[in-house]
C-alpha cells in the first residue's frame, strides 16, 4: 500500500483514506493504494463494509493534471480497474464526500454503492469543458441514478451541483452534519443493521421521460443548439442513449470508444491547450515563482471614466479598499453613479445581494485630491490617452505616492517606458492594460517596462489573480499583444470591404467560423470614434501606414456605432441588434469608385483566412520579438479578451492545426492580391514552416 492511501479498520468498517494533496488527483501514486485497500477489505472476513474518504476539503478532483499526456495517466491500475473491483465488492461500499467530487472523482464515488456528503460539497462531471466525456463509467452510471434528462444536463454543461441538490436527486444518500468520517461509519453501520448489502448502480435501469426515441431526438436537437462547434456534448447524449438501451458493459465499451474518439479531436485538443495555457501565463522565465512580492492592502485609481470605474469595481469585488480620484466634481459624480448603476443592475438580476453591493460600494472612496493616493500600495492611472497628460500625472504621483508603491498605467497605445521616465522610480512602474468592461473581462495584459523591477511584476501578476483576472505578460510596443495583432485584422476587414464584401458578409463569415462577434459589430460596440482618434495620431507618427479610408468616411458622418444609433449598421432606439444599412453600402460603393476598385465576389473562406492569418502573422512577430513570452500566451489573449472560439484554441494554436506551411502558402498568395504589399511574412513563421514545426512546441 502506498502512503497516498491509508487503510484502517474501525469496529468492522474498513476505511480507505485518500491523501494525495492538493485535490486527491487520481494519479499513479494514488490508484494502487485505493485498489489495494478494496482488496484488503474484501479479503478480511471481519470487515463488513468499506468507507472511501478523502479530506474534508477534497474527496477527489479527478485525473491528476500533473500526469496529463504522460504514460503515468494510463499506468495500471486504471480508474476502470478500480471501478471493476468496486462493482465486484461483496459488501457495502460508501463514498464519503467532503469538498468536491469532480470528474474521475465523482466516477469513483458513483462506482461505490452508497454516497454520503458534507453540506455544500460539489459534485460534477466537468469533462465536457475539456472537450471530452466522463470516460470511467460516468455516462453509464449517472443516468441510472438521476434519469436521462438530469444526467444529460449535468454532463453537457459540466456544471457541478451541491450536495443538498444531489441528495434531493438521489445522487447522495445522506448529508452528514459534523465529522464526515464518523457520519460515514454510522451510515455504514445503519446499512448493516438494516441488512442492506451492496447496491450497484450498474444493476439499475435508466429512467427516460416518455418515448425514448423521441426523448433522445429532442435532447440531441437541444444540445446541438447550445454546443455549436463542440462535438463532446452530442457524444454525451449518445452515451446516455447507450446507457438507456444497452446492457451496462456494452454501454461502457461504447463510452470508451467515444472517449478515445473525442480525445483525438482538434476541438478537445484546443480546449486542453487553453486549460494548460491559462496555467502557464504566470510563469516568467527570469522571475522565479518564489520572487518576494509586495503587500497590496489598498489601491487607488486615477480617472473614473469607462475604464477607471470598472477597475475600481475589480478591487472592491476582491475586498480591497480603493480610492478613486477624478479631475472635477461632475466627472467624479458621473463615475460613481455608473459604478452604482452597474452594481444595482447585478442586484436587480439577482446575482448580487444588496448587502454585498453596499459592502463593495463602501470600499470605494471617491475624492478630488490626488494627495489621497499617498497611502495606496498600487495606483492605477486611467486618464485620457495622451502622453503629456499621463507624464504630468506620473510626475505628480512620484511626489505623492509612498515609497514602494506600484505605479501602473492603463494606457492602450502609449510607450510605458516614456511614462515611467517621468518618475524617479521607473522600477516601480508598469502597465496594467484592462479590457472593457474592466469589471467583466478576464484578460489583463501586464506590460513589463524596460526597467520594471521583478518584484513589481511578480506582485502585479499575483494581484491580477486576486482580482479574478487572467494576467498575460507583454513587452512594450504599440498596442501590446492584443491590439497590435488586432490592427492587422482590422486592416484586412476594411480592405475586404473595399474589394467588394459588405460588413454583414464579413461579420457572418467570421461569426460562422466561431468568433463571438464579427469585426464590424465589434467596431460599432466599441465606438468607431476610438479607432478614428488612434488612426489620426498614428497617421502622424507612422506616415508610411497604409489603411483603408472607408472607416474615416463613416466617422466623418458621426456614425460612431451603437451609442450614436448608427455605425456600420443601424440600431433601433434601445436595441443592440445590428440592421444592415443601405446608406453604408452606398457609401462603401462610392468609396470604391473614388479609389478605382471594381467590386468582386469574395468567398467566406477568403474572408476568414485573411483576417485570421493576419492575426497569426503579427502574432509570430510578437513572439519573435519577445513581446509575448510564449505562443500560448498569445492564444490566451485572444481567447479571453477578443472572443476567439475556445474550440479553435487561439490564433497560434489554430495555425498549428492548419499547418504552418499551409498558412504560409496562403499568405504568399495574399501577397499577390489586393494591397498585397501589406503582407510581410513574419520570419519566424517562414522558419517554423520550413522546419515543419509549430508555434506551440
Q: With beta carbons less than 8 A apart as the criterion, state whether 61 and 18 touch.
A: no
Interacting stretch for ligand NAD, rule CB under 6 A, among 148-156, 176-184, 409-417, 673-681?
409-417
**To the nearest whole angstrom, how small is the minimum distance from the Cβ of residue 537 to ligand NAD?**
11
**Distance between CA atoms of residues 15 and 30, nearest Å:** 15
The percent helix, strand, coil of the chain (3-state, each to 5) is: 55, 10, 35
Residues 265-284 that bind ligand NAD (CB under 6 A): none
**To the nearest whole angstrom, how small is the minimum distance from the Cβ of residue 637 to ligand NAD?**
13
- Per rule CB under 6 A, is residue 307 in the interface with ligand NAD? yes
- Per rule CB under 6 A, is residue 534 in the interface with ligand NAD? no
Q: With beta carbons less than 8 A apart as the criterion, state whether 229 and 647 touch.
A: yes
- Per rule CB under 6 A, is residue 524 in the interface with ligand NAD? no
**To the nearest whole angstrom, how small is the minimum distance from the Cβ of residue 437 to ligand NAD?**
8
Interacting stretch for ligand NAD, rule CB under 6 A, among 192-200, 264-272, 406-414, 685-693?
406-414
Interacting stretch for ligand NAD, rule CB under 6 A, among 259-267, 306-314, 561-569, 603-611?
306-314
**To the nearest whole angstrom, how small is the minimum distance from the Cβ of residue 534 to ligand NAD?**
9
Neighbours of 656 (CB within 10 A): 25
Cβ closer to ligand NAD: 335 or 578? 335
**Distance between CA atoms of residues 144 and 251, nearest Å:** 12
| Contact residue for ligand NAD among 175, 327, 661, 681 (CB under 6 A) | 327
- Per rule CB under 6 A, is residue 393 in the interface with ligand NAD? yes
Biggest alpha carbon–alpha carbon distance for the chain: 93
Q: With beta carbons less than 8 A apart as the criterion, state whether 56 and 180 touch.
A: yes
**Distance between CA atoms of residues 30 and 26, nearest Å:** 6
Question: How far are the Cα atoms of 36, 74, 166, 179, 473 from residue 112, in angstroms, in the given order?
Answer: 15, 21, 15, 20, 45
**To the nearest whole angstrom, how small is the minimum distance from the Cβ of residue 416 to ligand NAD?**
11
Neighbours of 638 (CB within 10 A): 28
Query: Which residue has the CB atom at the shortest distance from ligand NAD?
Result: 305
Binding mask 594-633 for ligand NAD (x = CB under 6 A): ----------------------------------------
- Per rule CB under 6 A, is residue 331 in the interface with ligand NAD? yes
- Of 90, 280, 321, 131, nearest to 697 (Cα)? 280
**Distance between CA atoms of residues 354 and 233, nearest Å:** 37
Q: With beta carbons less than 8 A apart as the criterion, state whether 255 and 135 touch.
A: yes
**Distance between CA atoms of residues 541 and 534, nearest Å:** 10
Cβ closer to ligand NAD: 158 or 531? 531
Q: With beta carbons less than 8 A apart as the criterion, state whether 352 and 343 touch.
A: yes
Cβ closer to ligand NAD: 42 or 385? 385
- Of 382, 206, 417, 249, nearest to 307 (Cα)? 382
Cβ closer to ligand NAD: 110 or 301? 301
- Residue among 3, 67, 107, 572 flagged as catalytic: 107
At 204, list the grid cell: 439499475
End-to-end CA distance of the chain: 38
Residues 23-52 that bind ligand NAD (CB under 6 A): none
Interacting stretch for ligand NAD, rule CB under 6 A, among 89-97, 225-233, 299-307, 613-621?
299-307
HSE-CB at 198 with a 13 A cutoff on CA atoms is 17
- Per rule CB under 6 A, is residue 389 in the interface with ligand NAD? yes
- Of 28, 187, 21, 30, nearest to 96 (Cα)? 187
**To the nearest whole angstrom, how small is the minimum distance from the Cβ of residue 513 to ligand NAD?**
24
Length of the chain as a residue count? 697
Cβ closer to ligand NAD: 198 or 303? 303
Task: Please tell me what DSSP assigns to residue 561.
Answer: B
**To the nearest whole angstrom, how small is the minimum distance from the Cβ of residue 443 to ligand NAD?**
10
**To the nearest whole angstrom, how small is the minimum distance from the Cβ of residue 435 to ligand NAD?**
6
Q: With beta carbons less than 8 A apart as the criterion, state whether 370 and 328 touch.
A: no
Interacting stretch for ligand NAD, rule CB under 6 A, among 2-10, 252-260, 301-309, 604-612?
301-309
Cβ closer to ligand NAD: 65 or 525? 525
Cβ closer to ligand NAD: 72 or 442? 442
Number of residues that bind ligand NAD (CB under 6 A): 23
| Contact residue for ligand NAD among 24, 140, 410, 491 (CB under 6 A) | 410
Q: Is 132 helix (H, G, I), strand (E, B) or coil?
A: coil
Cβ closer to ligand NAD: 36 or 534? 534
| Contact residue for ligand NAD among 238, 251, 303, 650 (CB under 6 A) | 303
At 636, list the grid cell: 490566451
**Distance between CA atoms of residues 181 and 578, nearest Å:** 58
Cell 478515445 belongs to 260
Residues 188-217 that bind ligand NAD (CB under 6 A): none
- Residue among 127, 326, 445, 618 flagged as catalytic: 127
Neighbours of 22 (CB within 10 A): 9
Alpha helices for 125-179 (secondary structure H): 138-146, 148-157, 163-169
| Contact residue for ligand NAD among 64, 127, 278, 326 (CB under 6 A) | 326
| Contact residue for ligand NAD among 19, 265, 306, 342 (CB under 6 A) | 306
Residues 414-453 that bind ligand NAD (CB under 6 A): 433-434, 436
Cβ closer to ligand NAD: 29 or 564? 564
**Distance between CA atoms of residues 21 and 24, nearest Å:** 5
For residue 107, indicate whether it is catalytic.
yes
Residues 348-387 that bind ligand NAD (CB under 6 A): 382-385
**Distance between CA atoms of residues 345 and 116, nearest Å:** 39
Task: Please tell me what DSSP assigns to residue 626.
Answer: T
**To the nearest whole angstrom, how small is the minimum distance from the Cβ of residue 332 to ligand NAD?**
8
- Per rule CB under 6 A, is residue 313 in the interface with ligand NAD? no
- Output the DSSP codes for 266-302: HHHHHHHHHHHHHHHTT-BTTB-TT--------EEEE
Cβ closer to ligand NAD: 291 or 306? 306
**To the nearest whole angstrom, how small is the minimum distance from the Cβ of residue 439 to ligand NAD?**
12
Cβ closer to ligand NAD: 308 or 471? 308
**To the nearest whole angstrom, how small is the minimum distance from the Cβ of residue 428 to ligand NAD?**
19
Task: Please tell me what DSSP assigns to residue 625.
Answer: T
Sheet hosting strand 378-381, strand order edge to edge: 364-367, 322-325, 299-302, 378-381, 406-409, 429-434, 443-447, 470-474
**To the nearest whole angstrom, how small is the minimum distance from the Cβ of residue 333 to ligand NAD?**
11
Cβ closer to ligand NAD: 253 or 525? 525
Task: Please tell me what DSSP assigns to residue 224.
Answer: H
For residue 572, indicate whether it is catalytic.
no
Cell 486618464 belongs to 383
| Contact residue for ligand NAD among 37, 308, 567, 645 (CB under 6 A) | 308
Cβ closer to ligand NAD: 380 or 622? 380
Give the residue numbers marked as catalytic. Answer: 107, 127
> Could you list the residues that contact ligand NAD (CB under 6 A)?
302-308, 325-327, 331, 382-385, 389, 393, 410-412, 433-434, 436
Amino acid at each position: 500500500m502506498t502512503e497516498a492511501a491509508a487503510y484502517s479498520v474501525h469496529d468492522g468498517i474498513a476505511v480507505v483514506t485518500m491523501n494525495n494533496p492538493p485535490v486527491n488527483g487520481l494519479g499513479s501514486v494514488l490508484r494502487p493504494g485505493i485498489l489495494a485497500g478494496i482488496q484488503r477489505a474484501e479479503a478480511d472476513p471481519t470487515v463488513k463494509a468499506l468507507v472511501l474518504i478523502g479530506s474534508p476539503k477534497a474527496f477527489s478532483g479527478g485525473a491528476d493534471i500533473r500526469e496529463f499526456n504522460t504514460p503515468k495517466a494510463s499506468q495500471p491500475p486504471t480508474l476502470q480497474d478500480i471501478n471493476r473491483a468496486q462493482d465486484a465488492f461483496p459488501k457495502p461500499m460508501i463514498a464519503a464526500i467532503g469538498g468536491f467530487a469532480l470528474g474521475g472523482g465523482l466516477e469513483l464515488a458513483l462506482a461505490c454503492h452508497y454516497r454520503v456528503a458534507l453540506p455544500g460539497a460539489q459534485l460534477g462531471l466537468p469533462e465536457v469543458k475539456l472537450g471530452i466525456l466522463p470516460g470511467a463509467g460516468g455516462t453509464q452510471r449517472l443516468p441510472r441514478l438521476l434519469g436521462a434528462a438530469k444526467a444529460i444536463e449535468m454532463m453537457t454543461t459540466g456544471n457541478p451541483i451541491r450536495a443538498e441538490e444531489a441528495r434531493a436527486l438521489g445522487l447522495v444518500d445522506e448529508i452528514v452534519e459534523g465529522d464526515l468520517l464518523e457520519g460515514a461509519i454510522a451510515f455504514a453501520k445503519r446499512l448493516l443493521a438494516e441488512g442492506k448489502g451492496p447496491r450497484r448502480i450498474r444493476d439499475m435501469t435508466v429512467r427516460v421521460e416518455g418515448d425514448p426515441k423521441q426523448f433522445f431526438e429532442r435532447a440531441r436537437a437541444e444540445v446541438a443548439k447550445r454546443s455549436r462547434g463542440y462535438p463532446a456534448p452530442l457524444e454525451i447524449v449518445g452515451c446516455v442513449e447507450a446507457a438507456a438501451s444497452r446492457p451496462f458493459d456494452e454501454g461502457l465499451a461504447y463510452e470508451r470508444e467515444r472517449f478515445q474518439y473525442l480525445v483525438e479531436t482538434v476541438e478537445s485538443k484546443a480546449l486542453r491547450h487553453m486549460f494548460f495555457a491559462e496555467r502557464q501565463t504566470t510563469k516568467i522565465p527570469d522571475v522565479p515563482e518564489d520572487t518576494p512580492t509586495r503587500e497590496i492592502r489598498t489601491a487607488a485609481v486615477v480617472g473614473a471614466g469607462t475604464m477607471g470605474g470598472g477597475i475600481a469595481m475589480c478591487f472592491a469585488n476582491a475586498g480591497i479598499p480603493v480610492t478613486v480620484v477624478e479631475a472635477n466634481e461632475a466627472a467624479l459624480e458621473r463615475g460613481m453613479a455608473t459604478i452604482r448603476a452597474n452594481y444595482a443592475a447585478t442586484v436587480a438580476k439577482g446575482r448580487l445581494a444588496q448587502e454585498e453591493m453596499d459592502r463593495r460600494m463602501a470600499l470605494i472612496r471617491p475624492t478630488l485630491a490626488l494627495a489621497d493616493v499617498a497611502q495606496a500600495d498600487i495606483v492605477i492611472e486611467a486618464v485620457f490617452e495622451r502622453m503629456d497628460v499621463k507624464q504630468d500625472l506620473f510626475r505628480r504621483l512620484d511626489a505623492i505616492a509612498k515609497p514602494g508603491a506600484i505605479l501602473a498605467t492603463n494606457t492602450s497605445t502609449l510607450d510605458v517606458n516614456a511614462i515611467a521616465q517621468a518618475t524617479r522610480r521607473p522600477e516601480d512602474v508598469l502597465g496594467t492594460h484592462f479590457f472593457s468592461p474592466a469589471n467583466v473581462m478576464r484578460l489583463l495584459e501586464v506590460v513589463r517596462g524596460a526597467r520594471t523591477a521583478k518584484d513589481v511584476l511578480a506582485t502585479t501578476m499575483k494581484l491580477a489573480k486576486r482580482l479574478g483576472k487572467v494576467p498575460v505578460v507583454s513587452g512594450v510596443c504599440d498596442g501590446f499583444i492584443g491590439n497590435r495583432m488586432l490592427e492587422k485584422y482590422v486592416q484586412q476587414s476594411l480592405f475586404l470591404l473595399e474589394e467588394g464584401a459588405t460588413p454583414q458578409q464579413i461579420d457572418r463569415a467570421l461569426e460562422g467560423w466561431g468568433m463571438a462577434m464579427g469585426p464590424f459589430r465589434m467596431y460599432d460596440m466599441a465606438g468607431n470614434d476610438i479607432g478614428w482618434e488612434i488612426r489620426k495620431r498614428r497617421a502622424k507618427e507612422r506616415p508610411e501606414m497604409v489603411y483603408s479610408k472607408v472607416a474615416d468616411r463613416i466617422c466623418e458622418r458621426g456614425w460612431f456605432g451603437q451609442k450614436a444609433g448608427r455605425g456600420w449598421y443601424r440600431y433601433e432606439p434601445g436595441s443592440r441588434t445590428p440592421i444592415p444599412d443601405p446608406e453604408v453600402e452606398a457609401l462603401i460603393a462610392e468609396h470604391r469608385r473614388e479609389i478605382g476598385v471594381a467590386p468582386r465576389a469574395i468567398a467566406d473562406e477568403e474572408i476568414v483566412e485573411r483576417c485570421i492569418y493576419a492575426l497569426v502573422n503579427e502574432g509570430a512577430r510578437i513572439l519573435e520579438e519577445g513581446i509575448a513570452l510564449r505562443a500560448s500566451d498569445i492564444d490566451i489573449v485572444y481567447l479571453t479578451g477578443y472572443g476567439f472560439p475556445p474550440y479553435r484554441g487561439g490564433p497560434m494554436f489554430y495555425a498549428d492545426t492548419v499547418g504552418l506551411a499551409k498558412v504560409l502558402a496562403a499568405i504568399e498568395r495574399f501577397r499577390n492580391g489586393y494591397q498585397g504589399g501589406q503582407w510581410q511574412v513574419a520570419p519566424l513563421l517562414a522558419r517554423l514552416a520550413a522546419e515543419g514545426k509549430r508555434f506551440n512546441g
